[in-house]
Amino acid sequence: MTDARKWQLLLGIPAVLLLFVFLIMPLAGMVEMSFRTAGSNAPYGDGFTAVHYARVLGDGFYMATLLRSLVTAAIVTLLCLIVSYPLAWHLSTARGGKALFLYACIASPLMTGVLVRNFGWMIVVAIDGPLNASLMGLGFISRPLRVMFTQGLVIMALVHVFIPFMVLPINNALRNINPALSEASLSLGASRLSTFFRVTLPLSFPGIQPGVILVFVLSVAAYVTPALLGGQMVNLMPTLIIRELTGTFAWPFGSTLAIVMSIATLSIVVAFSLLTARLMERVRA
Amino acid sequence: MAKVKVKSLTKRYGAVTALDGVTLDAESGELISLLGPSGCGKSTTLRCVAGFLSPDSGDISVNDQSIVSTPSNRRDFGVVFQNYALFPHMTVAQNVGYGLLFRKIPKSEHGPRIENALRMVRLTGLADRLPKALSGGQQQRVALARALVIEPRLLLLDEPLANLDARLRDEVRWLIREVQQQSGTTAFYVTHDQAEAMAISDKVAVMKSGKVAQFATPRDIYQRPSERYVADFTGEANFLAARVLDASAGRFRIEVAGQTLDVPGVASLKAGDTAELLLRPESLSLDMDGASPRSLFTGVVSKAAFLGASQHCEISLGTGGVLKLAAPPNTSIAAGEQVGISVALEHAWLMPEVKP
């Protein structure tokens, strides 16, 4: 092994250590916990069992909640993509100081803490809040809307905070597209719309793919926003898991829910990557 | 078949004038080169013609119909770019067939047309490859086929050889000329390489800071340039300051380096004008035995370099000034020698002095 190669391996050690201690070990602990028996007067018992998996997979309530979580995440991801793409496009054409300003604007949802941001939403959408006041003032509605504790609000709040994770990779991909390609397409007779769908969109896929995966994974796992803005009315997997782990202290069952959710999410991400592998292979520089 | 006219094209960016009244025209089937250093406006002109830029004023017409307000996707022009601009996610065949998708051409004809275009640029058997699996020369052939398959009214080439190495450049250059002539397509060709421009063009527009300095055949821009800038840009050149004594119908009696000569030149010169006499190195020959009666000038060899097929010499004239010339390879020349220089006066050329 050459010296340079040795150094390269050494450089990886801190990251590997960190991941091992703070990701692999806890995850292994979770898997172990999910096979423990339930305890009486204790979070878990001494023996091992697969009964929790049978319960999660066999119970319509948990499967429905898992499905609702995945569908909600898919909606958030799709809306995020639709809102972010034009934004990313605009950002990719900006240069210098203007680009810097726009980057700051786009990153702004991440600059406030999660609690502050969600209490902000509560104030905005409250029955006597500014949203209802202005909609009534403009005459669109005659009675205030009840927005608080709806799935729509949860989705809107998640889209808002995850936009940067979608905009930044797409912006990067768009910046990497040779501008002569759209000119070539136009000169060959394609309209601007055809040029977008046949050239720009497929070539921006190296940004769409990571954006979609990031936002989807973050949305499935989001806890604080659904808990605060959805409350008891919007049941999603993370809320359920936390309730089991810290509400009823059923650690093995809570772990099982968490593992099932992770496996479901991972399967979807893997399927999405496999389905788009051919396109990615083609457009990779 | 298309006759193309570009009239008084002007384009400004803030205080910078990129194009300042560019006027050109191409007869049907002609290849016109736009030649000049970077920043002279040659690419800007081409981008205006392609419709990627809109000029501030001026007109572009094809067969006497103005197209200046037609969007680029309705101009029916084929464009070949310096960086090839092939669609990286499409195969060679898909790239070449791209333009057919937007024309009323039955699907069944696409295959044969694509094949035909690829055969024309001598690229067969690679139809299913992706562009990144091809060499630069092959990619530019695909780009050429893609631009020609739509049978464009006008072919626009923006420094198509600039990214290729020297050997390929020659090959692709002749290929471009061949297919352009075969298909009878009118073409505009942007380049900064004078040899390239002269070799393949019917006419060359030499551009200088947003203006056309001269628009003429390759022979004319080389042998009868309108000004020193053009002469300099098109090849090795010697200039001597001259004064016009008498002018009649493109012939001039001039005073240069203490002598009175009869030379051809730019018709607009008048008696009394100061002018510059262009002497191309190949119109000069050395008289080795010092000054012979044929010698027009005498001087001392200040530099001599053996190049193989010829020798490059610089002669300092007694009256001031330096002449560069190419001497035959088999005479021995050394710095410091006293020599005479004969001039083929029919190939000298008198130009007005243009203040830079």
What are the start-end ranges of the H helices in B98-216? 107-120, 136-148, 166-183, 194-200
Looking at beta carbons, which residues of chain A come within 8 Å of B77?
187
Residue B206 is encoded by which pair of tokens?
Answer: 């030499």
CA of A177 to nearest chain B CA: how many angstroms apart?
A: 10
Query: What angle is formed at CA B40 by the lines to CA B39 and CA B45, rounded to 5 degrees?
Result: 105
Q: Is the pLDDT of residue A138 over 90?
A: yes
Q: In whole angstroms, give the CA distance from residue B61 to residue B97.
A: 27
3-state secondary structure of B250: coil
Of B52, B88, B156, the CB nearest to A283: B88
Q: Are B254 and B275 in contact (CB under 8 A)?
A: yes
Q: Is A96 exposed, middle or buried (0-12, 13-18, 19+ CB in 10 A)?
A: exposed
Query: What angle is formed at CA B248 by the lines to CA B242 and CA B249, rounded to 5 degrees?
Result: 110
Cite the residue boundaries of each domain of chain A with CATH code 1.10.3720.10: 60-284
Q: In whole angstroms, give the CA distance from residue B99 to residue B113.
A: 11
CATH superfamily of B4-228: P-loop containing nucleotide triphosphate hydrolases (3.40.50.300)
Interior/surface letters B18-48, b for 16+ CB within 10 angstroms, e for the rest: bbbebebebeebbbbbbbbeeebbbbbbbbb
pLDDT given at position B334: 85
CATH topology classification for A60-284: MetI-like fold (1.10.3720)
pLDDT band, residue A1 (cuts 50/70/90):
low
pLDDT given at position A285: 59
Residue B22 is encoded by which pair of tokens?
Answer: 């560019």
Q: In whole angstroms, give the CA distance from residue A140 to residue B317.
A: 93
Q: What is the mean pLDDT of each run of 10 residues along chain B (356 residues)?
A: 93 93 96 95 96 96 95 96 95 96 94 95 92 93 96 96 90 94 95 94 96 96 95 93 89 88 91 92 83 80 89 87 88 86 92 81
State the Rg of chain B over Cα: 24
Query: A189 vs B103: CB contact, 8 Å cut-off?
Result: yes
pTM listed for this prediction: 0.86
pLDDT given at position B290: 64
Handedness of CA B327, B329, B334, B335 (dihedral sign): positive
Q: In whole angstroms, give the CA distance from residue A172 to residue B28.
A: 44
Q: In whole angstroms, give the CA distance from residue B150 to residue B156.
A: 13
pLDDT given at position B115: 95
Q: Per residue in B208-243, pLDDT tens?
A: 999 999 999 999 999 999 999 999 999 999 999 999
Q: Would you list the domain boundaries of chain B?
A: 4-228, 236-352
Q: Per residue in A117-136, pLDDT tens?
A: 999 999 999 999 999 999 99
Q: Per residue in B240-275, pLDDT tens?
A: 999 999 988 888 999 988 889 999 999 989 888 899
Q: Is the pLDDT of residue A69 over 80?
A: yes
> What is the pLDDT of chain A when averaged over all its residues?
93
pLDDT given at position A238: 94
Query: B150 vs A191: CB contact, 8 Å cut-off?
Result: no
Fold match between domain B4-228 and domain B236-352: no
User: HSE on the CB side for A8, CA within 13 Å?
Assistant: 5
Query: B89 vs A202: CB contact, 8 Å cut-off?
Result: yes
CA of A256 to nearest chain B CA: how many angstroms apart?
A: 43
3-state secondary structure of A243: helix
CA of B39 to nearest chain A CA: how many angstroms apart?
A: 19
What is the DSSP annotation of A194-232?
HHIIIIIHHHTHHHHHHHHHHHHHHHHH--HHIIIIITT
Tell me, what's the ipTM?
A: 0.87
pLDDT given at position B336: 87
Q: What is the 3-state secondary structure (H, E, C) of B207-218?
A: EECCEEEEEECH
pLDDT given at position A22: 95
Q: In whole angstroms, give the CA distance from residue A73 to residue A216.
A: 5
Query: B87 vs A199: CB contact, 8 Å cut-off?
Result: yes
What are the start-end ranges of the H helices in chain A? 3-19, 25-34, 51-58, 60-93, 96-107, 114-125, 130-137, 151-175, 180-187, 192-195, 201-203, 205-221, 224-225, 237-242, 251-275, 277-283
10 Å Cβ neighbour count for A12?
Answer: 9
Query: A282 vs B89: CB contact, 8 Å cut-off?
Result: yes
Q: How many residues does chain A have?
A: 285
Chain B residue with minimal CA distance to A187? B73
Q: In whole angstroms, give the CA distance from residue A62 to residue A236.
A: 9
3-state secondary structure of A66: helix
CATH class of B236-352: mainly beta
DSSP structure class, residue B270: -
Q: Is the pLDDT of residue A275 over 70?
A: yes
Beta-carbon contacts below 8 Å between A and B: 75
Query: A187 vs B78: CB contact, 8 Å cut-off?
Result: yes
A156 Cβ contact partners less than 8 Å away, ≥ 6 residues apart: none
